[in-house]
Every structure is written in structure tokens, then in C-alpha cells.
């Protein structure tokens, strides 16, 4: 893979770019979003550089489940397990800007009809 194809999040995983790391294990990393859209805004990122959710296949079943469990765990760690949202933007048309699959964990905000539409 050429340098140009290496995703921003792979560079963060490889410590080439600094990030505020909340959690990591052999399958994923969790960082604080650089431009938070909620008081708690973390990104759960698989080490495997799947560009989008739709690029995951049956071989990714374990890691996909793991990402959900980790999302719940870091929400608990940050004290937002009573009220958080998970968002995956799939494709530029849906607002995806970094093409390395990630789950947004958005917590500790008031979720109502006004801001449900914003993310």
C-alpha cells in the first residue's frame, strides 16, 4: 500500500500522528474526536483499515461485534452509558470524511428532535 493510501486513522494507530487515545487493544483503538459534536465524542476504530461499513465481510464478524462491545465499555468508562448514540457514516453522501471505518460514540448531550438530525 502506498503512503497516499494509508488512512489518517492508520497513521494515528501507528503513532505517526498524535491523538488523545482513550483505549486500545489488539483489534481496535478509541480516540477522542478532534472536533467534538457532543460533550463526549469518541471514535472507535478497527485496526483493520476497512474503508467503509459496507466493505466489511463475513470474515469481519468478530471484529464488528468487538467494536460494539468496546463502544459500550468506553461509554461506561466515560460515565455516559445511560445516554449515548452510536453513528457510522457510510460514504461521502452520508457525511463520511475519513475513509477508515469508525463508530462515533456521542454522549452526555440532550438528544431531542433538534439535534438528532445533525449527525
List, by residue number, the catalytic residues.
102
Stretch of residues binding ligand 5GP (CB under 6 A), selected from 22-30, 63-71, 73-81, 95-103:
95-103
Of 1, 4, 34, 62, the one binding ligand 5GP by CB under 6 A? 34
Stretch of residues binding ligand 5GP (CB under 6 A), selected from 29-37, 47-55, 56-64, 110-118:
29-37
45 binds ligand 5GP (CB under 6 A): no
- Count of alpha carbons within 13 angstroms of residue 19, beta-carbon side: 25
118 binds ligand 5GP (CB under 6 A): no
CA distance 53 to 43: 14
Give the rounded distance of the alpha carbon of 101 from its chain centre: 7
Stretch of residues binding ligand 5GP (CB under 6 A), selected from 48-56, 67-75, 96-104, 107-115:
96-104
Task: Decide if 94 contacts 55 (C-beta within 8 A).
Answer: no
CA distance 54 to 60: 11
Binding residues for ligand 5GP restricted to 6-25, rule: CB under 6 A = 8, 19
Contact string (CB under 6 A) for ligand 5GP, positions 51-90, x = contact: --------------------------------------x-
Partners of residue 42 on adjacent β-strands: 32, 105
- Count of alpha carbons within 13 angstroms of residue 15, beta-carbon side: 1
Amino acid at each position: 500500500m502506498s503512503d497516499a493510501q494509508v488512512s489518517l486513522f492508520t497513521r494515528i494507530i501507528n503513532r505517526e500522528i498524535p491523538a488523545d487515545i482513550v483505549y486500545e487493544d489488539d483489534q481496535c483503538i478509541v480516540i477522542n474526536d478532534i472536533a467534538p459534536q457532543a460533550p463526549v465524542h469518541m471514535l472507535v476504530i478497527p485496526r483493520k483499515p476497512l474503508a467503509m461499513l459496507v466493505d466489511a465481510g463475513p470474515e469481519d464478524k468478530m471484529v464488528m461485534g468487538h467494536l460494539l462491545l468496546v463502544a459500550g465499555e468506553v461509554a461506561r468508562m466515560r460515565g455516559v452509558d445511560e445516554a449515548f448514540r452510536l453513528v457510522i457514516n457510510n460514504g461521502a453522501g452520508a457525511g463520511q470524511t475519513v475513509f477508515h471505518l469508525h463508530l462515533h460514540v456521542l454522549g452526555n448531550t440532550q438528544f431531542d428532535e433538534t439535534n438528532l438530525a445533525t449527525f
